[in-house]
Amino acid sequence: MADIKLTGETRLADLLTAYPWLKNELPNINAKFKMLHTPMGRVMAKKATIAEMSRRSGMDQALLIEKLENLLAG
């Protein structure tokens, strides 16, 4: 994993810069992340944090971080 510590304040844009493939994997965590492939989703990805992703998807933040860490660990 790159030197990105996953917290509620971690920006999605930073994750996608470090792990470009992650955008295609996020819908496997939660179907609501499919919207990242829309024009509005691309705009939101630049500003969204993990905390905001958690709120918008209805997923518990700790669970979201755990699933992201598992994905990034390979």
pLDDT in tens, 16-71: 999 999 999 999 999 999 999 999 888 988 899 999 999 999 999 999 999 999 99
CA neighbor of 69 nearest in space, from 13, 17, 29: 29
Q: What is the pTM of this model?
A: 0.88
Indicate whether 6 belongs to any domain: no
CA neighbor of 74 nearest in space, from 31, 36, 13, 25: 25
Indicate whether 59 belongs to any domain: yes
Indicate whether 61 belongs to any domain: yes
Indicate whether 4 belongs to any domain: no
Domain region containing 59 = 12-73
What is the 8-class DSSP label of residue 34? G
Tell me the residue length of the chain: 74
Query: Could you give the count of Cα atoms lying within 13 Å of 9 in the half-sphere of its Cβ?
Result: 1
Indicate whether 2 belongs to any domain: no
Q: What is the pLDDT at residue 2?
A: 59
Indicate whether 5 belongs to any domain: no
Per the structure, how many domains does the chain have? Answer: 1
